[in-house]
Amino acid sequence: MTVTSLNVSLDLGGNDVLSVGKLAAQNRRIFFEYDSEFLSVGLPISPFKLPLKSGVQVPKEMVFDGLFGVFNDSLPDGWGRLLLDRQLLRQGAEPGTLTPLDRLALIGSQAMGALRYEPETKSQQPEIQETLELDRLATAAEQELAGTPSDLLEQLIQLSGSSGGARPKILAYVSPDKTLVVQRKTAPQDYTPWLIKFRAGIDAPDSGAVEYAYSVMARTAVLEVPETYLFPSRTGPGYFGVRRFDRTASGSVHMHTASGLLHADHRFSSLDYDNLLKATMILTKDIQQVERMYRIAVFNVLAHNRDDHSKNFSYVMDRSGTWQVSPAYDLTFSSGPGGEHSMLVSGEGRSPNQDHLLQLASKVGIQRQTALNIISVTRSATSQWRSFAADAGVRSTTIKRIQKILTSR
């Protein structure tokens, strides 16, 4: 498989599908050119690195194998990439020979967000018609992670879409009462799109319950968090699920990670919170959006979420081209790489405290009293950890271990 060109479109739902432009590969470089009609519409899908202008553009940095970050955001990493590579190996293909355009063609119309790629080369499997059994899928996911072939590989691939992150997960539609989970895009109109996570090999049995408790704690700290739910399991406290914010009743939403926006590889600590908040101001031109991102930073520090790399922060664009900070996601207890935050807080990664958070606020124009209020509200939320965790079914040993660390924040 060697794809040399792809047409890119922006599917915002209904009849609102816009031809964005064309990707082409030549001499191991990847080029992009906007369609002239899209330029006249003026939607800035990636204003920092892929400005709206005529002519062929090529990335200045080779961060994403030659792709612009906005297109790299469409590719799965971690779990999604593992599944695809596993399937290719079983078909006798070598995953290492696939180019970025090959992988985008395999994603095609299934990308997170609103970008779509044609021609699509992924074989169209019939949709899974029956109700999904989460325990069965979770067992299959554990087998695949361990390198043991599973009979459900095709189903896992169908359900993974282009989702990122290391933990196994599926994309599905859920009934209003949360009792039925299906793949069908033709599900009843009142079913909604969700992302449901399974446990990775290194995760504790109650990791889903911990993440659910964290989502409740974050909401109490006044972070904007999508609807979350702990889907029941016969083998543990349950599976963490979150309603997708890149899908609405009216269609898809264009989204962009901080990693893709700034061409910052999330595998390395190439950004700090200063960069993130300043970029937020430049992109949104709205101090309230900067304060929203600051709330996430404060929560990550006080709740000990140190897996705060650049793919765990995103922005969403509306139909008029206005950018906002996306709802917060991937909020859970994590000690991060080497015990430090992936993003530094005013130069500190191992032991950031209130002084560092106040310095951060000062650097980006947030009033001191506003910052103090945000910190106070967040402390109040994290002080209720025991209650949130107990309600979610987190094990008592886990509650105590996390409580000890949160108390020291």
- Kindly list the averaged pLDDT for each block of 10 residues, start to end, along the chain of length 409: 93 90 96 98 98 98 95 92 86 88 94 96 73 96 90 90 84 95 86 95 93 99 99 96 95 97 87 97 99 99 97 97 98 92 96 98 98 99 99 98 94
What does the DSSP 8-state code read for residue 310? Answer: G
pLDDT reported for residue 266: 86
The helix (H) or strand (E) run that includes residue 257 is: strand 254-257
Q: Are residues 307 and 342 in contact, defined by beta-carbon separation less than 8 angstroms?
A: yes
The phi-psi region of residue 251 (left if phi > 0; otherwise alpha if psi is between -120 and 50; otherwise beta) is left
**On the CB side of 216, how many CA atoms lie within 13 Å of its CA?**
18
Instruction: Name the nearest CA neighbour of 221 among 289, 284, 302, 288.
Output: 302
Tracing tokens 């990335």 back to the chain, one arrives at 59
Instruction: Name the nearest CA neighbour of 63 among 335, 257, 253.
Output: 257
**Cα–Cα distance between 226 and 208 in angstroms, integer?**
16
How crowded is residue 401: how many other Cβ atoms within 10 Å of its Cβ? Answer: 13
* Chain Cα centroid distance, residue 126: 26
Tracing tokens 């609102």 back to the chain, one arrives at 16
Q: Are residues 109 and 116 in contact, defined by beta-carbon separation less than 8 angstroms?
A: yes
pLDDT reported for residue 124: 61
**Cα–Cα distance between 89 and 172 in angstroms, integer?**
26
pLDDT reported for residue 91: 79
pLDDT reported for residue 1: 64
**Cα–Cα distance between 337 and 339 in angstroms, integer?**
5
pLDDT reported for residue 123: 61
pTM score over 0.85: yes
Residue 250 amino acid letter: S
Phi, psi (rounded to 5 degrees) for 58:
-135, 140
**On the CB side of 365, how many CA atoms lie within 13 Å of its CA?**
12
